[in-house]
Amino acid sequence: MCGIVAAVGDFDVNTCRRMLDRISHRGPDDSGEVHRPGVWLGHQRLSIMDVAGGHQPMVDAESTTYLVVNGEIYNHRHIREELGHELFETGSDSEAALHAFVVDGPAGLARLRGMFALAFASEDGGFLAARDPLGVKPLYWVRRDEVTLFASELRAFDAEDRPLVETFPPGHCWSPVGGLVRFADTVPAHVRPARRAEEPGVWERSLVKSVREAVVTAVENRMMSDVGVGVFLSGGLDSAIVAAVAAEYAARHGQPLPTFAVGAPGSSDLAAARTVAEYLHRLHGNIEHHEIAMTARDAVEALPRAVRAIEHFDPSLVRSAVPNLLLAEYASRWVHAVLTGEGADELFAGYAYYHEQPFTDPDALQAELVRTVGELHHLNLQRCDRASMAFGLEAREPFLDREVVELALSIPPEHKMVRPGVAEKKLLREAFEGCLPEAILSRGKEQFGDGSGAKDVLAEAVRSSPEVAAADGVELRSREEAAFYAIWWEELAGIRPERTLGRFATT
């Protein structure tokens, strides 16, 4: 995990270096840049794979193609097998992206399985930028007549460029010659439920087995690291499943597994996480559980830092970001990467509103699941990335593995609907029976900001905040959101929310 900046056209090198310096927190271990005619690449590195040999910008053996990457290529070993090990000089997963591009050009992006925002440059001034299909890793850009600028965070851009900042679309690549081209759909067009469920809530064992195997494979792929991996354990079903699979994998490899939980003293999240950690430790003997007790003062003091870190002012995101930030700050002292449960609710209909009108209709539910998965990069993924990377900590989301996404969205939506005797995410719960305590398998959905105790504390903290008039016609929905927007604007004045945060910030 890292931070990148890129420029193509008539740029100022000092501007590029200022931009890179503003995101140095994303990669505290190393920094690098390359300047070629009409192209500049900059990289802040968080060293996880091949700590000694993974410096960026990377360059191929002929010194004609350069690469900077923010993210992880989880199938890099498979790409090495396909392209030939003789091409590779390091153990870095990012090198797989470099050679895929050198061999196949932009078509090589289709080989990559993982989370990434990247930029290639060539000696003759060629350039290509790309972002993974789900937008797990952030990328923003500014297009002017004379120059195009890219960066991992909004804060990177100079004040005069901020009114032009836009979100670079997931699943797309851009070059000066070819323009903006889609190379992968966020949700592939072929992924549709195969058929209507004849008996909603009743499925064959083969489906349960497929769900379990897909999630297990995704978690195990994300355990790759030369510096250790931990788990953010909220005590909810999704993070508990991730922890269970990771604990078994780590035990097979003789490794400890640090787990991290945060909440107000006595909160339901802390209690549930402790139950999971103790259960897994009895099974595998390798859990190192850490609890961060969040006082009201901690939460209030972290609030402005959280808004600035996540570069967003949506109340539900901010409520989650406060405990997320405190968790990341602590966990970064122990590990460089953590696994999270992000994405499971959007894939398996975990949120309560999915089970209300109009989504009690299967087709409407399916359409909403597809939509919310496609919008994750504006919301929970942005919060997850920024809160962790504020402390140089990489977050990995196994449920957003391509195979898991495709499988989950191919399941008849009737199987995800709540009815008497059928709880939300019943299929997912059944897939991991025997891996977790029954109390956790049957625990109902609770928002992170609620379960951790942050919601009530923050609501009280902003109750007396003055109303704030928003700029650029942004419609603020509550006093709480207005208070968060004031903090956001102080940090990111000039940014147009509708261009960078998606429609949720304005409706």
The residues annotated as belonging to the active site are 2
Distances in Å between the Cα of 151 and the Cα atoms of 26, 93, 101, 316 are 12, 21, 21, 25
Q: Which residues contact 485 (CB under 8 A, 6 or more apart)?
A: 313, 468, 470, 474, 476
Task: Report the amino acid identity of residue 43.
Answer: H
Output the 3-class SS for 170-215. CCEEEECCCEEEECCCCCCCCCCCCCCCCCCCCCCHHHHHHHHHHH
DSSP state letter for 331: H
Rounded-to-integer distance, Cα 294 and Cα 264, Å: 5
Bridge-based pairing state of the strands 114-122 and 172-175: unpaired
Instruction: Determine the Cα–Cα distance for residues 355 and 393; give it in Å rounded to an integer.
Output: 35
**Other residues' Cβ atoms within 10 Å of the Cβ of residue 373:** 19
Look up residue 210 and give its amino acid. Answer: S
Q: Rounded to whole angstroms, how far apart are CA atoms 436 and 29?
A: 37
Cα angle for residues 85, 117, 5 (degrees, 5° grid): 110
Question: What residues does 115 pair with on adjacent strands?
Answer: 72
161 known ligand binder: no
**How far, in Å, CA of 236 to CA of 206, rounded?**
25
Other Cβ atoms within 10 Å of 144 Cβ, number? 12
φ, ψ for residue 34, nearest 5 deg: -140, 140
Kindly provide the residue ranges of all beta strands, DSSP E only, lying in 17-99, ordered along the sequence: 30-36, 39-45, 58-59, 65-73
CA distance from start to end of the chain:
32
Cα–Cα distance measured from residue 123 to residue 10, given in angstroms and rounded to the nearest whole number: 16
**DSSP for 391-446?**
TT-EEE-GGGSHHHHHHHHHS-GGGG--BTTB-TTHHHHHHTTTTS-HHHHTPPP-
Contacts (Cβ under 8 Å, ≥6 apart) of 460: none
CB–CB of 118/67 below 8 Å?
A: yes
- Return the structure tokens found at 94: 């990012």
* 93 annotated binding-site participant: yes
What is the chain's alpha carbon radius of gyration, rounded to the nearest angstrom?
A: 22
Report the binding-site residues: 93, 262
Report the binding-site residues for L-glutamine: 93
Report the binding-site residues for ATP: 262
